[in-house]
Structure 1
Amino acid sequence: MFESWPVHFQPEPRREVEPPVAVIVDLALGIARSPIGRRADGLPLRVRAESLQMDAKVPGALHAWARTARGDWLGRVRLRIPAGQGWLETDQWIAAVAITPVTTTRQGTNKPKRPLI
């Protein structure tokens, strides 16, 4: 994954997660959007009904971490973004603040936990 990113210092500013970790992603926090947004009630119903739903919390699989030049961490997550009656499957770099790991309890329910990095 990081073959074309040579690193000369330690600790490295990236790492692969093997095996991938189950996570919940808050899309509203994790993917930057235009600061000049529109109110949903001002959009045509066809746009609201069939567009990407970026305010959702969705399950995903964390595959890697990478640090930005500003010191923030991003996680590479494979996830499905809800879209109309379906979804868009993608690998996306997501801000760490929007990624929560999932653990399985003895009763079989999933509960988010912190921290992950």
Structure 2
Amino acid sequence: MIPARVMIVEDEVITAMATGAMLKRLGHVVAASVTSGEAALEAFRRQHPDLVLMDIRLDGELDGIETARAIRSQSQVPVVFVSAYVDDQTRSRAAETGPFAFMPKPLDEYELHALLAKVLGVRPS
């Protein structure tokens, strides 16, 4: 499997570090790890990741849904929402951005591996 360049958008630093460690164990690269929507948009433009793992609640003015909407308006890079608690209204709002998937927190390494295999299978070479 070709290593994916993954951007982590997560306001909990320990969670972001754990996700990064999982990605590295699975043979992938953390292209960027940021805590706010604004930083995510800047890092996305600079790093050109293959996949974005996006928390819904973030530091800053933009939440993960607004950030995903902005990313999807300029790119077809898959965005996966990762969240511990998602009510129906938030899930419906997030679904409007066309996410690749929703994953519950805490992330499971086996499920993350399966997700990456799916993403790499549909991503242009």
Normalised to the residue count of structure 1, the TM-score between the two structures is: 0.23
Higher relative contact order (CA 8 A, sep 6+): 1
Structure with bigger helix share is 2
Normalised to the residue count of structure 2, the TM-score between the two structures is: 0.23
Structure with bigger strand share is 1
Structure 1 or 2, whichever has the larger Rg, is: 1
